[in-house]
Amino acid sequence: MSYYPYRHPLIQFIIIKKEVMRILFLAVVIVGVAIADGKLTGRWQTQPSEKGNITGVVFKADNTIEGYVNKKPFVSGTYSFDPGDSILSFVDNGCNGVRGIYKVMFYCNSDSLRFNVISDSCTERKNGMLRLVMGRVK
């Protein structure tokens, strides 16, 4: 049985696209934290999903973020990061200007990260970020 109860390919595509957007937003948040703290500047990505998709994020020093799925641009935005308390705040083009605020949790010598939601009314993004784990691309 399919993970998605809908059989129509267009409906499945829309549902998958929304899930990917959530994952990308989380990646954007993670990348934003790393750049601001100096720990995460560069490229981060997930392990392949069950369907083989890889979500990646590039954190830039100018406080912009670009998210990718399978190396194709998917989402972009701006962020700020407070390294003192590891709080990431960002706005992206996937949630109609809604700001997300997350605490970034680094582990494995700061080569991996997760996000804990503080405030985010964009349900799709929040749900994706809760499951997102990213590793540094070396």
Domain harbouring 50, CATH code: 2.40.128.640
Please give the mean pLDDT across all residues of the chain: 81
Would you say residue 3 lies in a domain? no
Would you say residue 40 lies in a domain? yes
Q: CB within 8 A of 100, min separation 6: which ones?
A: 25, 29, 89, 90, 91, 92, 117, 119, 120, 122, 125, 126, 129
Would you say residue 56 lies in a domain? yes
Domain count, the chain: 1
pLDDT computed for residue 28 by the predictor:
59
Q: Is the pTM of this model over 0.85?
A: no
Low-confidence ranges of the chain (pLDDT < 50): 1-2, 4, 33-37
Rounded Cα gap, residues 70 and 1, in angstroms? 25
Residues 94 and 75: beta-carbon distance below 8 Å: yes
pLDDT computed for residue 29 by the predictor:
56
Range of the domain at 71: 9-136
pLDDT computed for residue 1 by the predictor:
47
